[in-house]
Amino acid sequence: MTAATSTEPNSPVPAPAEVKPAAPQVYASGTMRKITFSFVFLLMLPFFVSLGPMLYARVSQGHWLGTPGLILLSTAFALVMGLVVVELVTSIRSRVVLGEKAVRIRLPQSRGLLGLFSYKTFDVPYAEITAVEIRREIYGGSLAPVIMKGARVCLKDASHVKLGYINERNVDPAFPFTEIGERIAARANVPLVDIGDVRRSAFKKTFGLVASPDEQDVLTPADIAAVNQRHGQVIFVLVGVLVLLVGLGIISDRNSDIGHAGLFTSGAGSSGTPSR
């Protein structure tokens, strides 16, 4: 991950001047992206649905030799399937339109799986915007530290409209939320406020729980440097363990009498001369 630097909290940054274009500026996923994720989802769906009956067949018949490997493979496949579903829904539903006098925002107001059910549409006049806040949030602690940069729009009635989060090392070109926040601030002629760097609980964020008071403390540059260093180390270890476990699952499946290895063996045996 690109090294992050801590900034002074609550420091207003002048919004860059921008010449308003005649046509609205739209942030949305392209047609090819929608088609690609739809195709991948439909391609994976039959295999995902078949995992349940395969596990049931092994357990009901008492075949335990290859079952742990299949459970591991099913878990990994389910995680990948969940990511594909999130990306598919995001590509279809998410949209931000910067108009001349107002911004239309259709984005999830929760994170994780809850984001699939929290899409809302806001038509916000620029005159109702007081500021745009940007801050970094650090998740995972020493297990899997990750830094995400988020933006939200502050309104005069003290409410907020969440834009979203980006990984500064891999920004989604369709939804660069910090850039969107900067452009909204420029059009509304309001300050861009950098809150600073705070630590958040990934579990609470995923399920929409309120952050505890200690999660609002601004971190120092030394804390940010330590998180950046641990991130690369932990990801390297996790990838190595995942590759090892998947390899063990494949070997276990090949040595079992059910599954692909068993099908090939039974097919080869049935093609020969019947036994007498």
Residues 176 and 43 in one domain: no
Domain tally for the chain?
2
In a domain, 143, yes or no: yes
Token pair 């009956």 in the structure block, residue: 53
> pLDDT tens across 200-250, in order?
665 556 555 555 555 556 667 777 777 767 767 777 887 888 888 888 878
In a domain, 76, yes or no: yes
In a domain, 238, yes or no: no
**Residue 264 has what pLDDT?**
47
The domain of 50 spans 30-93
Say which residue, 182 or 5, is predicted with more confidence: 182
| % of the chain exceeding 90 in pLDDT | 33
**Residue 251 has what pLDDT?**
81
Distant-in-sequence, close-in-space partners of 137: CB < 8 Å, separation ≥ 6: 147, 148, 149, 150, 165, 197, 198, 199, 200, 205
Task: Take residue 69 and report the two structure tokens written for it.
Answer: 């490997």
pTM: 0.66
Residues 150 and 168 in one domain: yes
> pLDDT tens across 81-132, in order?
988 998 999 999 999 999 999 999 999 987 766 778 889 999 999 999 999 9
> pLDDT tens across 47-77, in order?
888 888 888 888 888 877 778 888 888 888 8
In a domain, 257, yes or no: no
In a domain, 211, yes or no: yes
